[in-house]
Structures are given as structure tokens and as C-alpha cells.
Structure 1
Amino acid sequence: MLITCDNNMQMGYIYLMPNETVDDYTLEKSDIGLYYDVNTLNIPRIKWLSMGQSLSQMRLATKTYREAVDKAFHCEYWNDLDGEGYMMGIELSLTEDIFLTLVAHQSFKLYDTRWRNCDFRVLTLDAHHDVFNKNNVIYPLSAKKDAFVILMIDPSTKVAKIMALISARDDLYPIDYLRNPLFILANSSRYFNEVSMK
């Protein structure tokens, strides 16, 4: 799964679905190796059947994400959806420090669970206690209710942050893709410090 962070712009993008853009990125183009051994980076897959109880404590919206955006909540930037409403990618504010912390704490995890009497995969995109906060809201991505996102919505600004993807659609969100991280850090502060010292 391709996750980018440009330290100059303090923005990032999470590619939830594989596409041709992913092929343009390689670890050789990333500064992440200045901080971590790239051979040790992974996205763990964990079986946690009782997670469904945590998901059931959150409110499940009746409208789809596409129907609710800019009405029930706003996006910080734009999140790309396909023709059926499934989320392809997430654009977000992302500083180098936050990105490195997320990687260090393995905030990106893939869980297998049971929820609503179905098997789902839950991809977390932030710290565990923030993802499973009971005040978060779950939005279906389509009327089929086979994929959802967990949103943390700021009560004062109504700006939503995507905390996790819940999916039964392994065809759209392949497990092998989600488990294979490609962390691309561009313009890192350490890179510029090393270049200026030479």
C-alpha cells in the first residue's frame, strides 16, 4: 500500500486501491530509510473477531459517505471515490513528525474481524485509541454496505478525518496490497541536514 508524505507541503496521500501511480514510486525515491530499516517495515495482519463489538459502539450512518460529504461533515482536502462511491485514496495534512510516529507505532494494521454477521478486514490509519473512539461515526461507501470508513468528526469545525477502512471487498482492496507498505517520505528534514553538512 502506497502512503506518501511530502514534508515541504506537509501533505500526504494514502492509496487504498492499487493503481498505475503506485508503479512510479520505489523505496529508492523515499527518505524513510534515513529513519528506519526498510526491510523491517510491514503492515501486520491480526485476527481479532471481537473487534466487531468496538465497531458496534460507534454510530452507523444511514447515508453513504458520498451523500453525506459537505452536508453532515466536510473534508480537509479531497478523498477520491470511484464511480460506485468506493474510496480510492485519501488526501490529508501530514507532517514528517506525524508520519514517522505513525510508522514507528505501526498505526497501519490490517485486522480480520466479524461485524454485522459478515467477515470484514479493518485497515487502521491512526493510533488504536483514536480509531476505536466510540464517538467516531461509520459511513458506508455504497448502498451495498460491503465497505465503510470510520470518521472522526471535529464537533466545532465538522471537518472529518478518516481513521480506518472497513471492507469485505477483497477484489477492490486486495489483502496482499494492503499488507505491503510503500512509505514514501519526500523532502525530509534529515535529508536536507545531511546534504547541508557535506
Structure 2
Amino acid sequence: MLITCDNSMQMGYIYLMPNESTDEYTLDKSDIGLFYDVNSLSIPRIKWLGMGQSLSQMRLATKTYREAVDNAFHCEYWNDLDSEGYMIGIELYLTEERLLPLVAHQAFKLYDVRWRNRDFRVLTLDAYHDVLNKNNVIYPLSPEKDAFVIVSIDSLSKVGKIMALISARDDLYPLDYLQKPLFMLANSSRCFSEN
């Protein structure tokens, strides 16, 4: 899974689906190796059937994510959806200071869970206790209710932040893709200080 962070622009993008345009990204073009052993980076896969109970304690929206954007909340930047409403990627505010702790604490994890009498995978994009905050809202991505996102909505600004992807669609969100992280850090502070 490709996760980019341009520290000079304070922007990032998380590619949730495989994309041919991402082939240009390789670890030798990333500054992440200045901070971590790139061979040790992983997205763990964990079976946690009890997570379904935590998900059930959150509000499940009746509107799809697409219907809720600019009505129930606003996007921080923009998140790309396909024609059916499935999320392709997430554009977000992301700095080196934000990315490095997420990587260090393995905030990016893939959980096998049972929820709504069905098997799902949950890809967390933040610390799991923030992801499973009962104030977060779960939005279906399509009327089929086979993929969802967990959104944290700031009560003052009404800006929604994607905290996790919940999916039963291995065809759209393949496990082998989600489990292989490619952290592309550009313009890191360490890179500039060494020049």
C-alpha cells in the first residue's frame, strides 16, 4: 500500500487500491530509510473478532460517504471515489512529524473481524484507540454495504478525517497490496539537514 508524505507541502496521499500510476514510486526515492530500517516496515495482519463489538458501538450512518460529504461534514482535502462510491485514495494533511510516529507505532494495521454477521477486514490509519472512538461515525461507501469508512468529525470545524477502511471486498482492496507498505517520504528534515 502506497502512503506518500511530502513534508515541504505538508500533504500526503494514501492509495487504498492498487494503481498502475504508483509504479514510479520506489523506496530508493523515499527518505523513510533515514529514520527506519525499510526491511522492518510492515502492516501487521491480526485476527481480532472482538473488534466487531467496538464497531457496533459506533453510529452507522444511513447515508453513504458520498452523500454525507459537504452535508454531514467537510473533507480536509479531497478523497477520491470510483463511480460506485468505493474509496480509491485519501488526500490528507500529513507532515513528517505526524507520519513518523504512525509508522513507529504501527498505526497502519489490518484486522480480520466479524461485524454485522459478516467477515470484514479493517485497515486502521491511526492509533486503534482513536479509530475505535465511539464518537466516530461509520459511513457505507455504497448501498451494498460491503465497504465502509470510519470518520472522525471535528465538532467545531465539521471536518471529517478518515480513520479506517472496513471492507469485505478483497477484489477492490486486495490483502497482499494492503499488507505491503511503501512509505514515500519526500523532503524530510533530516535530508535537508544533511545537505
Tell me the distance in 2 between the aligned counterparts of 1:67 and 1:182.
31
What are the residue-to-residue correspondences of 1:3-152 with 2, within 5 Å?
Answer: 3-152=3-152
- Tell me the matched-pair count: 195
User: 1:87 Cα shift?
Assistant: 0.1
2:66 alignment partner, SS class = helix
Q: Deviations over 1:32-87 (max 9, x none)?
A: 00000000000000000110000000000000000110001000100000000000
**Which amino acid in structure 2 is aligned with residue 34 of structure 1?**
L
2:88 alignment partner, SS class = strand
Q: Percent identity?
A: 81
**Which amino acid in structure 2 is aligned with residue 187 of structure 1?**
N
Tell me the distance in 2 between the aligned counterparts of 1:22 and 1:35.
22
**Which amino acid in structure 2 is aligned with residue 160 of structure 1?**
G
Structure 1 portions without partners, runs of 5+: none
Tell me the distance in 2 between the aligned counterparts of 1:43 and 1:133.
21
TM-score, normalised via structure 2 length? 0.99
The equivalent residue for 2:171 is 171
Tell me the distance in 1 between the aligned counterparts of 2:86 and 2:105.
28
TM-score, normalised via structure 1 length? 0.98
1:39 alignment partner, SS class = helix
Tell me the distance in 2 between the aligned counterparts of 1:169 and 1:24.
26
